[in-house]
A and B are shown apart, each in its own frame.
Chain A
Amino acid sequence: MSFVPQKELVTGVERHPLDADVPNVIEKLFALKNQCTECNVCEVACSLVHSPDGTVNPQYARLKIDHAPDKASRVNPDGLGFIAEICHHCGNPPPCAEVCPTEAFYYDPKTKAAVIEQDNCIQCMECVPGCPFDAVFIAPSGELLKCDLCGGDPVCVKACAARPEMLNQGKQYVRLPVLFYSEQAEFNKEHKQVPEKTDEVGMMQAMLEAGTISSPA
């Protein structure tokens, strides 16, 4: 058991300060609500890649899977599902960074994601309520954790027990992946139109018939 400092995964050497004119994040994370199975692999993988000494600790993950009993949805009227609490990478500068008194945030030059510079962070936690999606997390060590998109190759998306990459290869999957890394328009086109549940065949079957997936999960 150990509590370790975190490393942020950024790709460029040159960092854009928060007041620089940086375009919004184009490719970002999306999660399908209530489709998650709570396998926690995304949390495990996220904490592992961000740990400088190779430690798994889901409490250090930059996303959380939560049970959502009170969040019934159209696809899940019983409200029995799980949701992934992920950073939405709001328009730049994001609200979490805007409230930071020490300007600890900067932009990753490649992904344009706002990233916390742990050395400049005073752990005042202003960014926690500052985030409209509750997606800035407090690590057991007190560090503030925000998604940095792993420098453009988010490990949570790779780890998600259903594989997004298979989407582009003739829809060779059954379980709908929960996490996606894509552009908004593309995501909307592929996944936003979830058909209504029909009484007879169930939600997955309805998706199957609508061609959203190739076989029910």
Chain B
Amino acid sequence: MITVHAKFHSHFKELAATGEDSFVIEITTVSEFAKCICDKYGSRMRAMLIDPKTNELNERGTMFVNEKGMRVSAEDILEDGETITFLVGIAGG
């Protein structure tokens, strides 16, 4: 069992109605972490986090980064106390 923290920004923050949250997870992969978040915050969060076609993490218009600013993928292993930040992937103007 490890504790992982989530930070939500922009649209994620709106869906979660909070800026941050923590989860205790048994299986220490990102996909399990994402599943916990979806379970807690419902179908719209699922639509944002999970690609319905592939059941993988949704890449479209999103950005999930670890503390080093590297994008995480579904199979990555998380460590106790790690923070994953959920951002929207939009650039330009």
A–B contact with Cβ pairs below 8 Å: the answer is yes
**A interface residues with partner B (beta carbon < 8 Å):** 170, 172, 214-216
Contact A170 B43 (CB under 8 A): yes
Contact A172 B47 (CB under 8 A): yes
A selection of 9 A-B contacts at a CB cut-off of 8 Å is A170-B43, A172-B43, A172-B44, A172-B47, A214-B44, A215-B14, A215-B15, A215-B44, A216-B14
Chain B residues positioned under 8 Å from A170 (CB to CB): 43
Instruction: Say how far B92's CB is from chain A's closest CB, in angstroms.
Output: 21
Interface residues on B, range: under 10
Chain A residues positioned under 8 Å from B43 (CB to CB): 170, 172
What is the 8 Å Cβ interface bit string for chain B, positions 37-53, against chain A (1 contact, 0 not)?
Answer: 00000011001000000
Alpha-carbon distance between A215 and B14 when the two chains are bound, in angstroms: 8
Chain A residues positioned under 8 Å from B44 (CB to CB): 172, 214-215
What is the 8 Å Cβ interface bit string for chain B, positions 1-18, against chain A (1 contact, 0 not)?
Answer: 000000000000011000
Alpha-carbon distance between A100 and B93 when the two chains are bound, in angstroms: 53
- Identify 6 new A-B residue pairs, CB closer than 8 A, beyond the known A170-B43, A172-B43, A215-B14: A172-B44, A172-B47, A214-B44, A215-B15, A215-B44, A216-B14
Instruction: Say how far B47's CB is from chain A's closest CB, in angstroms.
Output: 7
- CB neighbors of A among B28-66 (8 A): 43-44, 47
Instruction: Say how far B81's CB is from chain A's closest CB, in angstroms.
Output: 31
Chain B residues positioned under 8 Å from A215 (CB to CB): 14-15, 44
